[in-house]
Structure 1
């Protein structure tokens, strides 16, 4: 039965959500089913326009920008009034997770929940905004988890297994590389990332320790220490299918770990929902135990697939990362300038389009004797993969991109906004990465691979610095183009000298990056 907001409730700004046009109603969730809902609070402090010269101490950040005990208590009182229990309450993450029955949640948040089926997936969905009491409206940034539709997809492309001698696989890559070969080709500075922790966000799949051991033994490296961190019930759960999310998980671990084998790797597993994605990110950013200095994200979706409140909450989490000296790298998408939307318009992928993240585009790479002989924009044609990139419909042009040459959007109206990506590296599966997944040696591409490759590079750079490099973008744009990619397109946008919406400032130039401000 539809629930209506009461006169004492107000809509949470940006929480309105539409059901997919292809979704079909298949019933109602059981009213007594327990669900978890995440309430994200606004920052209690006024965040400065400029980042601190050195990363903030976590204790200082928590005092200045975390939720106050009074704010958390107000949410807990709201929960008690509606018969909800508090599962988790975190001041640094500005998060309270509530648990209760579907009927209670509908009443508490003024929403109507239904069951829907779309493209073979059944989910609990809603349309319209979420509501909160008037006396909470001033502190609530967003409410997540009422709707549990899949929020994102992994940005990888499977080229196929490595063939046995004399055997040609129909989808095998034309050429492929180990992460070590790429680190050498891109002239990464020496080092192994010792003392650093790389956080990897995963919304499904899992890894097998036997695969990690075998892969690194083949590379002649000691396997890195890999820890699975459970978020909202997510866990390391390999499916046995390399074309599932397992391919993403293993690609991320093996690429980052091979480039920075001295670094520890923490994999944050969460459900593929708006709440799961956000909580995985905030858990990693504010993990005072593991203290990651870089976060690698290879999952995303076109901006129209997100609510405004979800993008705002994730963007603010990335800003918090920047203040703490944590670098955030996000894959820019594998479906060209359309980004899977199919409306004949150009779209950017989020979270790569966040101004507080570093978006990672993709190239096609050829080596000769270990040196780069050719590097162009990755675009294998309609349906076969191409780097994402473009101009955000959501975020304004950030200060660091002023003067970078970001063009107006290719869409009608020519909006000026945040340009994506910022950087690039090889992503074409036909010149992809050799990895091991579910007992098989595979070749995988996609911008998914670019984020962990750069994460390993950042870990190497951090290991040689007094303070972590933190938010990369201002430093990168101040330094100018890297290995400039000037040939190719991703559909709506063409590569050219300088920044472009296919490969950003270019692929890694390790020698130049090593000279970034200490």
Structure 2
């Protein structure tokens, strides 16, 4: 083509859900090097709409998913043509019809022309990233099969939700009613994960054999020697742990200020409770692109299962994402529900504010297609729970269980009778979290990382705790539970320890569901009875189209 900007003379289609503004607090560091090479993940529409209601709780096989709900090969061929016309290459190894992702690479100047953006470098909190403002566009003749374009903004999208116990901070007094004079007050102490499993009556006689627990990590790493030391110290057979590289990220332990504590917490909690399960750890870049690529890679990872349950301990406020990022990620969570894969997600460690102004909920815990996991403080005597309240250390500059009401996703039908507080927007309404578990660093988990033994808490611990429970239940029942939310909300039986004391800031615990600890912490024996023979993926208000329309109504500040 003879002109410098050959695409500008052609009719273009803008993607309104891709709109983003300058990141709050970010400083412009100059124009992104036009010759630097970047990759873009183009998310493509399904062959057929995925309607979980119509499936009626039935799980589809990977083969049926490929036949019905993957991307159409014709769409990929169409987009390969787009890439070649714009001087971009297609990374076939990173592309997948099942993942509905075609990955394009090229120099920044070609990427800018292809997608109608201008990329600048920014600095925020000591980190440098590239981003754009406005909306992404493509030539009209190629835009139709495209749902989202990720990679044009690579700012860090999420934070790990773990808290290392500050040994120098004085233990706070137990909350709740004062004990009778003849009683000994419950004292805070740390636990080995199997102790917590016993307190919660997790199933015995099963160890997760035949299951794969997937864990998503957006940083950090593990040292195999640390894992051997840890499991040997507990007298537990070391589980099979496999590191999977996504978007070039690798298992990279050793940064004392990094996320090694997160990675260790996830592996050691899940692995010590379900040591018979294989554990696949998907390391990815801390970007919207990397986060989604890791999830879809896990969902369709035939080399490692794929996982029957996926644990996610990373997230950030909904306002940190563009609408297209939220929609694309939630669409992938719907794929998980169809495939019979449970996703457990930490609800955040900053109470009802989620670290922002006003009340916010953490994503992806706010997706209506995941099991959002909040936090408690658990005190025990032997094998008996003495007291369990909402985790809330905010008065001593610590963390608290994340929870509240989504501004983006509508209230699902299964929360209709949960007395979820009023939504902050007309589009929102999904209450977070769904369930809870021990998360306070004061009553945290003994873990080993970077050669050291530490006590670690945070809702990050609750996601792998619940993932391990799901793996045990899957083994016990002989099939995947998949998406359990509608079943546990509808059950007449109480499969939970109802948490009725404490708050996370704006919300207080009380009988039944609340925006601090959801339905409560698990009673494994009762959940075995509830989930032993039944499962459901019905999500009357959680379809892709609904999520997309709600995302459209909301204004987002990031990608």
Q: Is residue 208 of structure 2 the alignment partner of residue 193 of structure 1?
A: yes
Aligned to 2:487: 475
Q: Is residue 30 of structure 2 the alignment partner of residue 33 of structure 1?
A: no
- Of the three residues 299, 302, 307, the one matched with 1:285 is 299
Aligned to 1:333: 348
1:486-505 mapped onto 2 (5 Å cutoff): 486-505=500-519
1:303-359 per-position Cα deviation (integer Å, ceiling 9, x unaligned): 000110001000000000010000001000000111111x2x211100000000110
Residues 402 and 3 of structure 1: CA distance in aligned 2, closer, same or farther (over 3 Å): farther
Task: Give 1:478 shift.
Answer: 1.5
Task: Give 1:175 shift.
Answer: 1.4
Task: Give 1:138 shift.
Answer: 2.5
Conserved 8 A contact 1:172-1:430: no
Conserved 8 A contact 1:55-1:467: no
1:209-229 per-position Cα deviation (integer Å, ceiling 9, x unaligned): 000000000110011000000
1:5-84 mapped onto 2 (5 Å cutoff): 8-50=11-53, 51-84=55-88
Aligned to 1:163: none
Residues 487 and 7 of structure 1: CA distance in aligned 2, closer, same or farther (over 3 Å): farther
Aligned to 1:318: 333
Other structure's SS at 1:124 match = strand
Aligned to 2:451: 439
Aligned to 1:260: 274
1:18-50 per-position Cα deviation (integer Å, ceiling 9, x unaligned): 222211111122111000100011222022242
Q: Is residue 516 of structure 2 the alignment partner of residue 510 of structure 1?
A: no
1:98-156 per-position Cα deviation (integer Å, ceiling 9, x unaligned): 10000000110001100111111111111111112213332111100111100100001
Conserved 8 A contact 2:52-2:338: no
Aligned to 2:359: 346
Find the aligned partners of 1:89 and 1:404 in 2 and give their Cα distance: 41
Find the aligned partners of 1:67 and 1:220 in 2 and give their Cα distance: 46
Other structure's SS at 1:400 match = helix
Find the aligned partners of 1:253 and 1:397 in 2 and give their Cα distance: 32
- Of the three residues 439, 449, 461, the one matched with 1:449 is 461
Aligned to 1:153: 159
Task: Give 1:286 shift.
Answer: 1.2
Q: Is residue 366 of structure 2 the alignment partner of residue 360 of structure 1?
A: no
TM-score by length of 2: 0.88
Unaligned runs of 5+ in 1: 161-168
Conserved 8 A contact 2:409-2:428: no
Find the aligned partners of 1:155 and 1:7 in 2 and give their Cα distance: 46
1:201-216 mapped onto 2 (5 Å cutoff): 201-216=216-231
1:387-398 mapped onto 2 (5 Å cutoff): 387-398=401-412
Unaligned runs of 5+ in 2: 172-187, 534-559
Find the aligned partners of 1:289 and 1:508 in 2 and give their Cα distance: 31
Residues 288 and 274 of structure 1: CA distance in aligned 2, closer, same or farther (over 3 Å): same
Find the aligned partners of 2:426 and 2:350 in 1 and give their Cα distance: 21
Find the aligned partners of 1:8 and 1:2 in 2 and give their Cα distance: 13
Residues 228 and 36 of structure 1: CA distance in aligned 2, closer, same or farther (over 3 Å): same
Other structure's SS at 1:494 match = coil
- Of the three residues 361, 374, 393, the one matched with 1:380 is 393
Conserved 8 A contact 1:11-1:130: yes
Find the aligned partners of 2:512 and 2:428 in 1 and give their Cα distance: 18
1:106-255 mapped onto 2 (5 Å cutoff): 106-160=112-166, 169-171=167-169, 174-190=188-204, 191-241=206-256, 243-255=257-269
Task: Tell me the matched-pair count.
Answer: 505
TM-score by length of 1: 0.95
| 4+ runs deviating over 3 angstroms | 1-7, 51-54, 171-174, 413-416
